Structure 1
Amino acid sequence: MYRRNETVVSEPAWAMGLMWLGLPLAGAGLGWLLQALAGWLAELPWVPFKGPVELIASVADNEPVATIVSLAIGGVAGLVLAFIGAMEALVVRITDGDVTLRRGDSTSMVNRSAVQTVFIDGKQLVLLGREAEELAREGFELGADRLRDGFLAHGYPWAAAGDPYRDKFRRWVPEDPELPGSADALLKARGKALEKGNKTDITELRAELAKLGVVVREEEKRQYWRRTHPTSD
């Protein structure tokens, strides 16, 4: 979408509408199915969300209350998932002077003059600075072509082949003597965060490593690192 010399790349309105409508409907349908199986499921000790299941089972023979309760619980669960999905969706606003990345209540801005190159790494949008440091790395579900076209329209250097410093990365192994300062300890902590799926710690530890001049990326749960200023190696 183009407006006042800016490009905003976000999830299409139809996709967001489908999510807000589809997930509650799917949840309500699942709730209705759950009603039919509630009595049997309530007796199984390993069933998740046992509280809602027992609630539905307790009114299963009381119609239309049972149907209303099951549809309401499923619909609300779908709304919660839709809200989480909306908060996780990335919105990229590109102008000739800066890039703004917004995800839910979190917003960051990168000045155009600081950007050396922009590229896609798997399902992540990456902006590199003048010292080959990462200015931003954000996961996205947006179309890569839309992002590319938006950045090119505003004159940003787009690396079609991907990360120009990819061959500078090396796999992290504990106690690597080439790592500066406390980087090894930070990578150990980040490895644990990756195992647990703790997104907050993963992001914060990436930022701490950046302060030491270390760029980190991962493939599945394996970490790879390089220094900034890679052209001087």
Structure 2
Amino acid sequence: MGSTTADRTVIGHSATDKAVLFGGLPLAGLVLGFFLPRIADWAAGRDWVPFQGPLKLIAAWDSWWVVVICVAVGLAGGVLLAGMALDDTLKVTITSQSVEFLKNQKTVTVPRVKVAVAFLDGKEIVLQDAASRELAREKHDQLKSEAKKIPAAFRMHGYPWSDSGDPHESEFRRWVEGDPDVSPAANALLRARSKAFDQGDKGKADLRELRNDLSNLGYSVKDRDKKQYWRAVP
């Protein structure tokens, strides 16, 4: 899961995670680079195989230095992919003073004094304050066996933990266009979030930003299979 000391617990970015990423992906890139000239030689001229131009170019260079270049590029590409994968993995640092979420070089820090309850909502770690407003909602990347250790990590550092999930789960309702119980401003934001789902990775930043905007309007929102569920926050 990560590492634990008396002062802090880290979830994600464990030594095993790094070993798998920075060992496995560069190795795969190296092997692919070594065999690429042979693959190119076989694939060149077969019209059903895409990228015929680059393949024919590689196949035409019958020399040892071509293999060296392909191996170097494959190795570098593997290291780059490993770094990107690690950057896209959530790292949670829990201490008795705060909880820090780090992902894609962006950090969210929540002071302990603001947290009234913490819980898991599916694969998301959620922190709420005394007014039931969400202070954080972050998707973790732990396997099911490792995720079972998350509650103990929070309890160890003095955070109230709800094993039954969200204490306000029954208050959520599925949003539909023009819901009369939602303000016009909130409906507009929910409509924009609905469109952001179709933008894939490009829409993730908008989904997060618009959720924060809805929180400022007094609404808590969570997503399930590209459907939005909301509740009013006192």
TM over 0.5, shorter chain: yes
Alpha-carbon separation, structure 1, partners of 2:67 and 2:7? 52
Alpha-carbon separation, structure 2, partners of 1:38 and 1:206? 48
1:13 offset after TM fit, Å?
0.2
Q: Please tell me whether the aligned partners of residues 132 and 233 of structure 2 are also in contact (alpha carbons under 8 angstroms).
A: yes
Amino acid at match of 1:26: A
Change (3 A) 1:72 1:202: same
Q: After TM superposition, which residue ranges in structure 1, 4 or more long, deviate above 4 angstroms?
A: 41-46
Matching residue of 1:170:
173
Alpha-carbon separation, structure 2, partners of 1:32 and 1:185? 53
SS of structure 2 residue aligned to 1:176: coil
Change (3 A) 1:188 1:34: farther
1:139 offset after TM fit, Å?
1.1
- Where in structure 2 are there 5+ consecutive unaligned residues? none
Alpha-carbon separation, structure 2, partners of 1:183 and 1:30? 50
Measured against aligned partners, the alpha-carbon deviations of 1:192-229 in whole angstroms (never above 9, x if no partner) come to: 11111221111111111111111111112111111113
Change (3 A) 1:81 1:42: farther
Alpha-carbon separation, structure 2, partners of 1:32 and 1:222? 45
Amino acid at match of 1:98: S
Matching residue of 1:58:
57
Which of 150, 153, 161 aligns to 1:150? It is 153
Alpha-carbon separation, structure 2, partners of 1:160 and 1:199? 28
Aligned length: 225
Amino acid at match of 2:125: L
Q: Please tell me whether the aligned partners of residues 9 and 146 of structure 1 are also in contact (alpha carbons under 8 angstroms).
A: no
Alignment RMSD: 2.3
Amino acid at match of 1:68: V
1:98 offset after TM fit, Å?
1.6
Matching residue of 1:203:
208
Please, which moves more after superposition, 2-11 or 91-100?
2-11
Alpha-carbon separation, structure 2, partners of 1:41 and 1:215? 55
Amino acid at match of 2:151: R
1:20 offset after TM fit, Å?
0.8
1:214 matched to 2:209: no
1:75 offset after TM fit, Å?
2.3
1:54 offset after TM fit, Å?
4.0
Matching residue of 1:89:
89
Alpha-carbon separation, structure 1, partners of 2:156 and 2:45? 57
1:44 offset after TM fit, Å?
5.2
Alpha-carbon separation, structure 1, partners of 2:37 and 2:188? 50
State the TM-score, normalizing by the size of structure 1: 0.86
Q: Please tell me whether the aligned partners of residues 133 and 215 of structure 1 are also in contact (alpha carbons under 8 angstroms).
A: yes
Matching residue of 1:68:
68
Alpha-carbon separation, structure 1, partners of 2:209 and 2:28? 35
Alpha-carbon separation, structure 2, partners of 1:141 and 1:21? 19
1:84 offset after TM fit, Å?
0.9
Alpha-carbon separation, structure 1, partners of 2:160 and 2:178? 36
Matching residue of 1:9:
11
Alpha-carbon separation, structure 2, partners of 1:191 and 1:104? 23
State the TM-score, normalizing by the size of structure 2: 0.86
Q: Please tell me whether the aligned partners of residues 5 and 96 of structure 1 are also in contact (alpha carbons under 8 angstroms).
A: yes
